Structure 1
Amino acid sequence: MSFLSRRRLREAAVVMLGGLAGIGIDTGELAQAGNTLRAIEARGELLCGVDGGLTGFAEQDEDGNWSGFDTDLCRAYAAAILGDANDVRFVPLTTAERFEALADGEIDILIRNTSWTFARDVGQNFDFAGIAYYDGQGFMVPADLGISSARDINGARICVQGSTTTALNLADFIDANALNVDVIEYSTAQDGLDGYVAGECDVYTNDLSSLAGLRTQLSQPGDHILLPDVISKEPLGPVIRAGESRFLDVSRWVLFTLIAAEEFGVSQVNVIEQSENARNSEIRRMLGIEENFGEQLGLENDFAVSMLSATGNYGEIFSRNLGQESELGLRRGLNAQWTEGGLLYSPPFR
């Protein structure tokens, strides 16, 4: 289906929804009522909650353009649901704001370095769509401090972002190792970095991916090292409101499509050719050539072609934003495909 046809169908859908504004119902209320997919279609725009500024994941330049791993995931969702990766509004949120914004319907989906935990999944009425990035908490210290392990930080002052799993993990680590340290909490990751630079603390702890991004902001990044210790599991992934089985399916299978496309070798460059000539049955089902998987999700059958044409597969998104040729220079590690020794794995398209 052409882009113009998609646009016309979407415009028609808005009309069929009864002129929501005219009858006093806004799309935020629709979303809160458990109709997020309909709200997105009616609005013609995906509201995606992201970090306000984290190198490699979500950052905005002086011209207002957003880039990063998380923002590319947002674009993939917009392309899959609406047919156009540009039909997305990035909503920058602090750690303290993110869950309230999601619960209140101010955003449709949260893609903002948020760890999947029992309390958030079960206790806060949210659903995690999957794991987009396998992370873990670590420590950054000045290289000249002479520390080689987190167990050597006894007596140190530690900067940490409050109201996060990071602060809870730090408390557990301190108790488990009987450390005598001073913990200084900050409201945002940037505030914590500023405190670290100002000498208010000796050590800064956060997710390793965040530390790698924050270190690039320092005047002499090479003067600071990330310790080898990893003290937690931090599975980061998209979050939606609980109780929306259809939107949860969409949220999961968009992510799985990005992962599976890399495994199958379907890329931004060859996806159109693959959609016309692929012989592998699983690729054909994923791309909408055979069967009607997209329709079962409430999307176009070729939703995967739209999103992969816009953003590329998982590996391409990782490479340009986080990989070794990017500013962060991260290795794939646990975020490699299962066939390459990593943990990335999509259920089968069958």
Structure 2
Amino acid sequence: MSDKLERYRKKRDAERTPEPVPEATPSPSDGHAFVIQEHHARSLHWDLRLERDGVLVSWAVPKGLPGDPGTNHLAVHTEDHPMEYLTFHGEIPQGEYGGGTMTIWDTGSYETEKWSDREVKFVLHGERASGRFVLFQTRGKNWMIHRMDPPARDPLPSVEPMLPTERAKPPRDTSAYAFEFAFGGRRLLVPVEGGRTAAAREHPWLRELAASFGSRTAVLDGELATLGGAEILVFYDLLYDDGHSLVAEPYTTRRAALEALGLSGGHWQTAPSWPGEAGPVRRAAREQGLPGVIAKRLTSPYEPGPSKSWLLIPS
């Protein structure tokens, strides 16, 4: 019987990597376990592994599982992995094959609908990943993965930024608003999907931010501002989070979801917000030489274009 782990062993040195490197030839099995690992290696990707005949047949999926049947994702067929990899997570040393951090993104069982050399149809039953998928070979080790059932999430919103209406004085009912600094910078919507963002084409440093999201999909609203002599991307709204559109949700819900992300880095931060604090925030804006403050109605949804729910009040 051929050793299905021969290629796996040749790529790894058991004395240098914490990965399991079993010496024995795997025994046939009829189990149906799967694992998806998030792998921060040279480039972020997800490893899909399906138990088959005593090993984990594996594909590297750069953008993760597709959430919509209208979009197929690349899946690169890699060497079979040992069953012990079902529970493996840790740091593979740099310089070794696959060097980087690996975490378990999801695990569970699956059903096989078809398995051939060029096509695999299966149904995942996991905590985060579920549904019918098909893997099909395109060329060499390159395959594609397609979702066969309906979308598992809301579609990404395609909207224009919400813009404030200028007003000379704060609203009378300040308790109905949150107050934020107006930075006078350039607005920037940042979509993040599969650990990547199209905004990185213009701002390469956003690749680090996108990678930190892993498989979490989001659309962030922010502003490129100059603070302390440095350009900072200040985020103050969240339009989409982890498969759910927040556009119709009130400001308070979107703001809570944004703050829960804990966005803070060398080039970006979450804008501070003070509900009901019109006077102090306006004075602070004046002292810092900022153009003014934005009053945002707590109950307002995200409305593309000019809106009377956001008020720009000069400092």
**Which TM bucket (shorter chain)?**
under 0.3
Higher helix share: 1
TM-score scaled by length of structure 2? 0.23
Larger Rg: 2
TM-score scaled by length of structure 1? 0.21
